[in-house]
Structure 1
Amino acid sequence: MFRSLRERNYRYYASGQIVSLTGTWMQRAAQDWLVLELSGGSPAALGVAVALQFLPNLLFTLYAGVIADRFDKRRMLIAVQSGMGLCGLALGLLDVGGVVELWHVYALAFGLGCFSAFDAPVRQSFVVEMVGAAQLPNAVALNSMTFNLARIVGPALAGGLITLIGTGPVFLVNGLSTGAVVLGLLMMDPGRLHRTAGASRESGQLLAGLRYVSRSPRLIVVLVLVCCVSTFGMNFENAFAVIARNVFERDAAGYGLLITALAVGTLSGASLAARRAGGRPRLRLVFGGAAAFGVLEAAASLMPTYHSFAVALVPVGIAVMTCTTAANSTVQLSVDPVMRGRVMGLYMMLFLGGRPVGGLLSGWLAEIFNGRAPLLVGGLCVVFASVVGAAVLARGSKRRVDSGVAEKYRLG
């Protein structure tokens, strides 16, 4: 289950990530709560903050994938992680100083998003350099476990700290926590990395990556499904903040516990993925996981009480992690190593770049209808996308089989 941790470089990386990601999740919870406080509980304002944070993924992530194929990924991550830490420190100082305004949060959310847009494809394509292709599925699953362990601890800590001392110190903690992942990157042995030859620096590399993807119907369908799952189904943090505050009348601690309940499920799903990561992931895990996620999310949105809603989030987390972990490994193992950075740039653009649309849609639905509407509508959209995607791939497979049979009889 923990085979990837035999690699010294990956151990350093994973150790730093546990600390840094815990701080990241603390900041996400604190930022959402701060926006609601500054805006008088407006779901639309929260949707704008989410949109600004993820908008840079639409603008820059594809180009970041090109850069990831050209330059030293470890050095790039050191610079990007440092920038993300500075954003957290700046927001924390403004908040602790009592001068923070809504536009400050918007501006720093956009700045954090810019650094994240470059971080995501570089970090995703760096995993295989640390562990090698044979251990990639296991490392992807362990990354998900780390991410979701932090997702359990971070919001729970943030909810308690916000109640006791306010949001400002939480931002400062996150800013300092990025030092752990930077230290881990600095302690690595570059000579033990499984590096591939960098892409050439001639023009047209971005278009070359897009043409590469366009020649694979399987990749296209998986990427479109990932975009739909993320855009419509994974607006958890802002939806939970509205549900906790406006539907169930809970405080920040109650909001943090909802994120923790979801994270218990996602951690369980990541653990299961790590156990079965012995070969290439199967597409039925991608599409079956997506369909189950959509159904469970829609059902959770209808739970009548706070506690029943929290319990229903556990299987939601298992399903979404099954889908996203399998999709990530499928894409990475289906591409030429020299194209991996660009393809993962496209993957992360679709995975994160739909969040501005999803955040605005979530805020609008909650504003017009109620806090439950974003989860209900999002879940149904994911079910529809998974069914259509599976049907498209099945039809393509049938056509290939039929054409092969026809060619056999023609030659015979």
Structure 2
Amino acid sequence: MLEVLGNPRFRAIWYVVNVAELTRWMELLVTSVLVYSLTDSALMLGLVLGFENLPRPIFSPFTGIIADRFDRKKIWVSSMVIKLGAGAALFLLLFSGNIAPWHVFAAMLAQGISRALEDPARRTAIFDIVGERRVVNALSIDSMSGTMGRMLGPFAGGFLIEHVGYFWPHYPGYTWAYVAVVTMHVAALLMAIRVIIPRVEREWRVEPIWNSLGDVVRAAFSHRQLMGMLFITIMINGLAFPARQFVPAIGRDHLNVGETLVGVLAAAESIGQLVTAVILASVGSIRYHGRIFAIGAFSVMITSTIFVWSPWYAATFAILVLSGIGLSCFGTMQGAITMRSSPPEMRGRMVGLQSLCIGIGTPPGVLLMGWLGDVIGIQTSVTLNALVCIAISVPALFLTPLVTRPSQPPPVTQPQSGPA
């Protein structure tokens, strides 16, 4: 870990990610509580996360190609400009008192587009900087940034909503929260402009975009460990992860706490994530990435079936901390398996495919979970979806070598697309 942090180019990226992730999680909590307070609907609450993730399955395959072919710093900075614009628009709407749920959904859609642009560019830039030998350590540190943001951002957002209500005539707590959000977006953008990302010569052919996408899909299908990981990724993002979006409903309606404690509850997983990320960032080498990935994935699924039923705030908090340990294992090994299994010339596209698998499950997942929550209750809905996720995901452990073999490099294959 110290070797990776000793790299000044990696540190520069890491500083930006710390600010950006703090902003992201604060903004997600603020918009989620806002929409739930306006609508009292689990479905509308779920749509906040649904719209944020909707651009992933649509744009991620193409943004992976962009990351492989163009300047990764310019892509990253462009994504931050989009985030700043969306945040500034919501601030103005809150200040004027004209906010409506559809405004939040539109802003979350823009944020999702920015993340679809950012993820392949930033993660492949990290790989270019630290190399294959230290990619797990670097991704663990990158994950720690998201964890710290998830730990502090929801608490800060909930505190501002509940306790700071001065000067603004409309939605004062929410407006102050967005003053902080916009300020941090500006800070992250200015820091990113100063980052130096090395230019790496990558081989790629001038070819139709669908041929390029076909190459990366064929490469994924030829690597059975990668296929097992991507299948479980789709399942868990569609049937287990959406449960976290309904923490504001669980906190307000079942635990009877205010916005500050809702924010603390939303941050609970980050404590387990942080401890685990530090451990993963410090290990010398890992052979069986798939085993750690699977342990993390099924830990998240199991805790999703039970945390919504706890009648005690402290117990709910503790269960979510345990879930965060699994979440860190899942997320870090997910990125490591993806990049270790990818040919160098299509690494950005493979990260884009991973992002596609993340995004393809989340929008329908939160829609289903939110709709069922309005019909049968959010607790029953969350548990039912998580149990289905476990049942569907278990066969992937036996039908692929995800947990039985060490992580393997990609097989050598000839591209199937036409000539340049």
Letter in 2 for 1:300: F
- Equivalent residue, structure 2, for 1:134: 133
Over the aligned positions, Cα root-mean-square deviation in angstroms equals 2.0
Structure 1 residue 144: Cα displacement: 0.8
Alignment gaps of 5+ in structure 2 = 166-172, 406-420
Q: Map 1:9-408 onto structure 2 (within 5 A).
A: 9-39=9-39, 41-163=40-162, 164-165=164-165, 166-190=173-197, 193=198, 195-203=200-208, 204-276=211-283, 278-394=285-401
Q: Return closer, same or farther for 1:128/1:396 CA change in 2, 3 Å cut-off.
A: closer
> What SS does the aligned partner of 2:309 have?
coil
TM-score, normalised by the number of residues in structure 2: 0.89
Letter in 1 for 2:147: N
Letter in 2 for 1:119: E
Structure 1 residue 283: Cα displacement: 1.4
| Distance in 1 separating the partners of 2:186 and 2:245 | 27
| Distance in 2 separating the partners of 1:349 and 1:241 | 27
CA contact (8 A) 1:290 1:383 kept: no
| Distance in 2 separating the partners of 1:281 and 1:93 | 49
CA contact (8 A) 1:70 1:201 kept: no
**Count of residue correspondences:** 395
Q: Deviations over 1:55-113 (max 9, x none)?
A: 11111111111111110111110111111111111111111221111221122222222
Q: Deviations over 1:197-249 (max 9, x none)?
A: 15233212111111211211221111111111222111244210111122222
| Distance in 1 separating the partners of 2:181 and 2:360 | 23
Structure 1 residue 280: Cα displacement: 4.3
CA contact (8 A) 1:56 1:353 kept: no
Structure 1 residue 397: Cα displacement: 7.2
> What SS does the aligned partner of 2:285 have?
coil
| Distance in 1 separating the partners of 2:142 and 2:13 | 10
Letter in 2 for 1:43: A
| Distance in 2 separating the partners of 1:49 and 1:126 | 29
Letter in 1 for 2:51: L
Letter in 2 for 1:14: W
- Equivalent residue, structure 1, for 2:418: none
| Distance in 2 separating the partners of 1:236 and 1:223 | 20
Structure 1 residue 10: Cα displacement: 1.0
> What SS does the aligned partner of 1:167 have?
helix
Letter in 2 for 1:338: E
CA contact (8 A) 1:293 1:379 kept: no
Alignment gaps of 5+ in structure 1 = 399-412
CA contact (8 A) 2:225 2:401 kept: no
CA contact (8 A) 1:77 1:123 kept: yes
Residue range with higher mean Cα deviation, 338-347 or 169-178: 169-178
Letter in 1 for 2:196: D
More helix by share: 1
Letter in 1 for 2:204: A
| Distance in 1 separating the partners of 2:6 and 2:298 | 35
Residue range with higher mean Cα deviation, 258-267 or 279-288: 279-288
CA contact (8 A) 2:91 2:175 kept: yes
TM-score, normalised by the number of residues in structure 1: 0.90
| Distance in 2 separating the partners of 1:285 and 1:236 | 22
Structure 1 residue 25: Cα displacement: 1.0
CA contact (8 A) 2:46 2:242 kept: no
CA contact (8 A) 2:291 2:403 kept: no
CA contact (8 A) 1:239 1:362 kept: no
Structure 1 residue 345: Cα displacement: 0.3
CA contact (8 A) 1:70 1:200 kept: no
| Distance in 1 separating the partners of 2:397 and 2:96 | 53
Q: Return closer, same or farther for 1:396/1:35 CA change in 2, 3 Å cut-off.
A: closer
Letter in 1 for 2:143: S
In percent, how many aligned pairs have the same letter? Answer: 24
Q: Deviations over 1:133-158 (max 9, x none)?
A: 22211010001111101111111111
Structure 1 residue 346: Cα displacement: 0.6
Q: Return closer, same or farther for 1:145/1:236 CA change in 2, 3 Å cut-off.
A: farther
| Distance in 2 separating the partners of 1:189 and 1:397 | 40
Structure 1 residue 279: Cα displacement: 3.7
